[in-house]
Amino acid sequence: MATFDFAATLACRLSRRDPGDSEFYGDALDFVYECYRTVCGMDHPWDFLQMSAQFVTSPGFDVYDYDSIAGALSLADGIKRIIAIVDDDGDNGMLRPMHWISLETLAQSTQGNPSSGSPTHFAQIGTQGIRLWPTPTIANSLGILIEKGIPATLSPTDEMLIPDGFATMVVSRCAAARMWEQHAGTEARLMADRMDKSYGDALAKMVATHGVVRWPFVTFADPQYLAAPFVLVGSSPGLIPSGT
């Protein structure tokens, strides 16, 4: 895997700066970190950030925050979101995703009428965690597909999670474009635009390779969200009713 040091060195060379100069190298490294976080934080389902795991519910509890789940799984960098959940113990299969408001209405917990049993539905609670319905009555083992968080602190010797071949194509070119923007003159502006276009082209290829939905069909249980199943198309969700 490519390191941030390698990406910063390449960014210096692409911007015609000497990587042996500590000031130029430091600027390049800062831009590499910025571009890396920006790319990984894009709303694409990056497969290199995904992993499967399992956690066990606690009887009587329906809300689970990401920090607790990440701690149980020894994920130091946390969880960005949970993509899918499957019932590993029972016959419920995949838990159906719902909007939080609709799940709250279904659960009726605020009216003092909670339902309990083996979970069949879940909802994201912003960036905090998930809520299950019905409330588990036993310790259920749930398989989860998660998107991992990005380390808060990066160092030059750290390896990028972006696969080789794209790590330098995307991150180094993004950083080099930012470096060219620091130059003065017409040539610098032209080179910044050219490098930015090169970065955009490389990013599009990475999205097509590592940032498209891998599952062919998704069904929302929430009637307020969508009345029919839809297919996710490419890097941008497109709503295509089933049967079309």
Count of the separate structural domains present in the chain: 2
Q: If you search the block for the tokens 């700066």, which residue do you land on?
A: 17
Residue 8: pLDDT band with limits 50, 70, 90: very high
pLDDT of residue 177: 96
- Single pTM value for the model: 0.76
Q: What is the CA radius of gyration of the chain?
A: 22
What percentage of the chain exceeds 70 in pLDDT?
A: 83
**Is the domain of 24 the same as that of 93?**
no
36 in a domain, yes or no?
yes
Residue 115: pLDDT band with limits 50, 70, 90: low
User: 120, 148, 176: which is the final residue of a domain?
Assistant: 148
242 in a domain, yes or no?
no
Q: Please list, in sequence order, all residues whose beta carbon lies within 8 angstroms of the beta carbon of residue 174, skipping any fewer than 6 positions away.
A: 31, 35, 38, 39, 196, 199, 203
pLDDT of residue 53: 92
β-sheet bridge partners, residue 80: none
pLDDT of residue 238: 37
Distance CA 139, CA 63 (A): 14
In this predicted model, what pLDDT tens digit does every residue of 61-71 receive, in sequence order? 989 999 999 99
In this predicted model, what pLDDT tens digit does every residue of 210-226 receive, in sequence order? 997 654 444 555 544 44
**Is the domain of 87 the same as that of 114?**
yes
Q: Spell out where 134-242 has E strands.
A: 135-136, 141-148
DSSP state of 21: S
22 in a domain, yes or no?
yes
Average pLDDT over residues 173-200: 93
Distance CA 195, CA 216 (A): 35
H helices of 46-155, where? 66-72, 100-107
pLDDT of residue 30: 97
221 in a domain, yes or no?
no
Q: Which long-range contacts (CB under 8 A, 24 or more apart) does 188-192 make?
A: 191/15
Owning domain of residue 167: 4-41+152-210
5-14, 30-39, 183-192: segment of lowest average pLDDT: 183-192
Give the mean pLDDT of the chain: 84
In this predicted model, what pLDDT tens digit does every residue of 92-107 receive, in sequence order? 789 999 888 888 777 7
**Is the domain of 25 the same as that of 114?**
no
pLDDT of residue 213: 61
**Is the domain of 37 the same as that of 156?**
yes
pLDDT of residue 146: 92
**Is the domain of 196 the same as that of 171?**
yes
**Is the domain of 197 the same as that of 127?**
no
161 in a domain, yes or no?
yes
In this predicted model, what pLDDT tens digit does every residue of 21-32 receive, in sequence order? 999 999 999 999
222 in a domain, yes or no?
no
